[in-house]
């Protein structure tokens, strides 16, 4: 069955006593790469965590969160279908783990390798291939804490790809990266989309939405303000409204960038 990747209906979600999403509905078909753009605090990370099963919304009649057509998932099973790249993950990763073990931990959808994890030869060769593909082979024996932010992020991407997921969630993919690392990472993201994996990218930066993403959703205070083709949604008036500041917008080769306006 070809269920949508994400199908959220009439969901209300609270965090720390505050209502973050209110009667929120969102659907993403497989293959329909999407960027969700919104200011800080608009609920982007909350939405990601609802999809990945780290958070739950209110259980009310008529409200549901379905991922690949299913409402209830064993989190480990879901993690094999869904790769997650978040800052929480990067922050929580154990400092002493080697690059190779970061990637291998993707075999178990866990953070780090534990004694009960039996690493098979096939897992080692898969990890080797992915490290090669992402250009991190030289980091195999480097400790996570001794890598740059960009190197850490590429290792975590190799980890997320380990189980050959159908879809990936990216939360502010290039934050903290310099231009070279940022664009290398975004080109890799383009490759991932061309491999047929569905991407949902959440961000507050217009410039980190790769040209391959054709649908953009604007999220403001937990509500969808606009949703549609990139060229209809990324406009100066809508973005000025979204960020509550006058903005002008430029486009070059499918990439967008904003500037202040008076
Ligand atoms: N762990 C938490 N405890 C309490 N409130 C939270 C927590 N995480 C986020 N929030 C609140 O939920 C709202 C949405 O946060 P978040 O989804 O992280 O927004 P975004 O990712 O768009 O910046 C914010 O107002 C934030 O303060
Ligand atoms: Mg966030």
Both tokens assigned to 100: 């190779």
Rounded distance, CA 136 to CA 151, Å? 7
Both tokens assigned to 147: 């890598």
- Ligand 2 centre to CA of 115 (Å) is 33
Confidence check: pLDDT of 112 > 80: no
Q: What percent of the chain has pLDDT over 90?
A: 84
Rounded distance, CA 255 to CA 216, Å? 13
Q: Give the model's confidence band at 1: pLDDT under 50 very low, under 70 low, under 90 confident, else very high.
A: low
What does the pLDDT look like over 70-86, one tens digit per residue? 998 988 889 889 999 98
45 lines ligand 1 (CB under 6 A): yes
16 lines ligand 1 (CB under 6 A): yes
What per-residue confidence (pLDDT) applies to 127?
A: 95
17 lines ligand 1 (CB under 6 A): no
Rounded distance, CA 209 to CA 190, Å? 10
What per-residue confidence (pLDDT) applies to 114?
A: 62
pTM, to two decimals: 0.94
Confidence check: pLDDT of 11 > 70: yes
């Amino acid at each position: 069955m070809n269920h949508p990747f994400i199908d959220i209906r009439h969901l209300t979600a609270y965090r720390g006593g505050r209502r973050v999403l209110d009667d929120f509905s969102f659907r993403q078909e497989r293959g329909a790469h999407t960027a969700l753009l919104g200011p800080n605090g608009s609920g982007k990370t909350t939405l990601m965590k609802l999809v990945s099963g780290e958070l739950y919304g209110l259980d009310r009649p008529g409200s549901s969160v379905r991922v690949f057509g299913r409402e209830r998932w064993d989190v480990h099973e879901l993690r094999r279908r869904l790769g997650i790249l978040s800052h929480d993950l990067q922050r929580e990763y154990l400092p002493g783990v080697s690059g190779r073990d970061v990637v291998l931990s993707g075999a178990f959808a866990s953070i780090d390798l534990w004694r009960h994890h039996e690493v098979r030869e096939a897992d080692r060769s898969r990890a080797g291939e992915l490290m090669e593909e992402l250009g991190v082979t030289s980091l195999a024996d480097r400790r996570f804490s001794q890598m740059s932010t960009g190197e850490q992020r590429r290792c975590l991407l190799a980890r997320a790809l380990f189980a050959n997921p159908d879809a990936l969630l990216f939360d502010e993919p290039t934050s903290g990266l310099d231009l070279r690392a940022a664009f290398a990472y975004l080109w890799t993201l383009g490759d991932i989309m061309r491999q047929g994996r569905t991407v949902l990218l959440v961000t507050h930066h217009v410039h980190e939405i790769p040209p391959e993403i054709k649908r953009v959703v604007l999220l403001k205070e937990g509500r969808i303000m606009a949703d549609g083709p990139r060229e209809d949604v990324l406009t100066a008036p809508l973005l000025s409204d979204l960020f509550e500041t006058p903005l002008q917008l430029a486009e070059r080769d499918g990439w967008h960038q904003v500037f202040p306006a008076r």
